[in-house]
Structure 1
């Protein structure tokens, strides 16, 4: 009883003293964190919920048509690998024959749609990584596919072939630049299922293709890299992977397509290259390497996207967040919420950031054979300019 009464008297006194000290202190010039750890940052809408499989790529046309990719490299599911979201439901796109599993040759159907984008003419492009879980890559499966939403017809299908395509390639994401090449140039990130990442450049008109910067630090994983995923510190080990990892992965273009931004998944750095050089097949690796700009840290990002102002949005699976890199190189937290698990595909449309949440870090392969994912998987959106970003520093 005596001890309890002593503590009971000490606590109010301490609180009172703290209160007097706080009132006596001069006003703070900057507030580094306005939520004091009590709330999530930002607001988001749930656009769609998916039972199975988990979503990855997301692309939206200028008139608002929304397309989602469901790759088969982690789980060989029997649903559509590409679908249009209509009235809250998924419709295989551009047709059942192309999007659902079938006996067609891999070159004549969509096998495993991963990264997606639209070009400046509003056409849909995707990278078909061609991989079915537990199976080797088949010839013709990995390819770049373009579809014109105005007609729902395939306008391009460029099969990736050796030596551009390696047995352990993981063609992950892409962007299409219409300012270089007769019909444009596609830039693809091969994050690799093994240890051979690189950037891939493809001339859309001719199908000419090549790997570049396959040994440059800007495309590689960082040795002994550590990520904190759902509170667990995990160290990258290519022979025993315990979290989503890989080489060059995130990719986006500046609004004028003059600059390509990219980053390895197992890294915190952001890099850029002039597309005038990257699209020129006469330029060798040494010249490209000399033109790479290291833009510094941006956190652990999977997807990248650019808004019309040139600001870059990055997913971050360590913080369950979406960050924005401003034109001056500073960052804001656009969204942070414990439900934002494994933020993956990302795009910007009409003042909002759209992002798929596939819970990839909970796959059985990263968790001792136990699939820890809990459907539904989400497609969310949040405003590009929330009223008061968590990380803003008011004067």
Structure 2
């Protein structure tokens, strides 16, 4: 139940984080877009001021130059001047018409009015909005241009251009492409964040289902393995009983009783998984000796000899649940035996216990093939196994039993390729006996 609550809280946290990112991003981009919009407005106002300056300073820019120069030419042609005088006056008018504007007017006209210094769409209409006088950064002609100008007016108030040719005009302007992109960015970002959350949620759900599936498979195999050893032993003793006179019936009965007790203990172990077990302050030497003796009687006699030694003070006590703690030590001893496979020399597995400040430590060491650092970091991960037929649950289950049920720790204390491995169990030390 606690795992499901943690998973739910994690999913809720991801959703809240995505919402927080989206809201903060939206607020920031809206603020940025507002600043850019104000900057665009100042650019349009500068452009309108430049137009007014040009119109006020240079009458030719107002559109009256053509009629003015045409009238002067007509007057010159119709005059009674001599041909040479008429030619000199015409040359003078041509040179006057070609005179460049003043420096200030030249700067405004060439640097602000003519070049496209800003990309804000703008439309110039008459005050009555009956025709389009000019446009900038947008295609605006006829009724379509007028309608577009009205649309711009819904978002920005038009700017009055008083000294325009033919009377005052209105400058309508819209939003620059950059401002539009900035306003659209939060939507795109929210979509990306939403996609990320969706992919993460699906991936998390898949991993959880996969781990649950591996856990169920591993638990089933672990149960079969735990039950298989005493059942195989019982089948062997039954076959010996059928051979009359081969064995002492009393000795077989004792062995069968031990195997039956073993089956009962296995059932108790699985029953206690998932519930809070009772811990007792018990001496560790009898518990560890009992597990070591159980494993000794099941070590294959063929091949290199294997010695299992227990070096634990008789007065060393710890808070343990016997059934579950024996399961942990069995897993460590079986793991040590598996590490001895393929070796051609005598091996020793040692169980050493000692008292440290505020805890009791039990080291399980072997002289097997050892592990490199990369392997040692993953040995407790569910599903990780270096054995061909392993399912990677034994060490993971052992750590959970020690940490979750005993409040202790289980880690790889030392391991080097070719030099063996030491697993270290840390247990809670009981209160001193009075």
TM-score (norm 1): 0.27
TM-score (norm 2): 0.25
Structure of higher RCO (CA pairs closer than 8 Å, 6+ residues apart): 1
More helix by share: 2
More strand by share: 1
